[in-house]
Amino acid sequence: MREEDLEVAIKVVIVGNGAVGKSSMIQRYCKGTFTKDYKKTIGVDFLERQIECDGEEVRLMLWDTAGQEEFDAITKAYYRGAQACVLTFSTTDRDSFEAIQCWKKKVEDECGEIPTVLVQNKMDLIEQSVVEPEEVELVSRALGCRLVHTSVKEDLNVNTVFRHLASRCLAELRASNEEDDTIPSNCLHPNMSVFESTHNAYKCEHGNGTIILRNGKSKNRKKKTLFRNTCTLL
C-alpha cells in the first residue's frame, strides 16, 4: 500500500465535568454553531471532521462524553482506543478545575499516555473567574499538557485545540513508522467504515493505536482500516 493512499483517522475523547462546554466545543468545531442553552449529554455523543494537517488528510472522530457520575460506567468504556484527549474545565466552575486530575487518570487507566490538551473554557466570562492563572499553569505543567484558553461562544482557540492534537498524533505516527514500516497482517480488517471500526473491538500489539484508513476520494477504491499498535476500539 502506498503512503499517499493512506488517510489518518484519530479518535479524540473530550472529558470533564458537566456543563463545562464539551458538547458546545465539538458542535462549534464540526458544525460551526453555538447555543447557550445547556443540554446534558446522555452517555456519549459523536461527531467528526476532516482536516488537512502537516500535509496529511486527517479525520478527527470526536467523542463527547457525559460529565455526570451516573454515566461514568458507560463513558469510561468509550475511552478505550482513543489516540488523543481534551481535558476541559470551566473558568466559572471551581469544581470542574479541581476534578481535572481525576479525569486525566480515568483516561490514562483505559488508554495509557496519549497526546492531551488542557482546556480552560468560557474565557469570555473571565471577570467571573474562580481560578487563578498561576494555579492553572501549575496544573498544566504537573500534568504535562499544553494549556489552551478557549471561548466556544466567541470561537476563540477552538481550532487550535484539535489542530494541536492532530499534529501531535501525526508526529507520533511518523516516528513509529520510522521504527517499524510494516503493518501486521492480523491488524488488517477490510470493508469497515470509520464508525463500524470504532464500535467493534480489535486488538493489535504494535505501536500507538492510531487508525489509518485508505483514502476515500476515489469511489472505486475499497476502504480498508489498518489498526496499528496496542489498541482496543469499540
So what's the pLDDT on residue 189? 36
Reply yes or no on whether the pLDDT at 216 is more than 90.
no
Q: Collapsing DSSP states into helix, strand and coil, what is residue 111?
A: helix
- The whole-number average pLDDT for the span 30-46 is 72
Q: Which residue has the higher pLDDT, 54 or 2?
A: 54
Q: Collapsing DSSP states into helix, strand and coil, what is residue 23?
A: helix
Kindly indicate the confidence band of residue 71, based on its pLDDT and cuts at 50, 70 and 90.
low
Cα gap 94→99, rounded to integer Å: 9
**pTM over 0.85, yes/no:** no
Reply yes or no on whether the pLDDT at 75 is more than 50.
yes
- The whole-number average pLDDT for the span 78-88 is 92
Kindly indicate the confidence band of residue 178, based on its pLDDT and cuts at 50, 70 and 90.
confident
Spell out where 1-115 has E strands: 6-15, 44-53, 56-65, 84-90
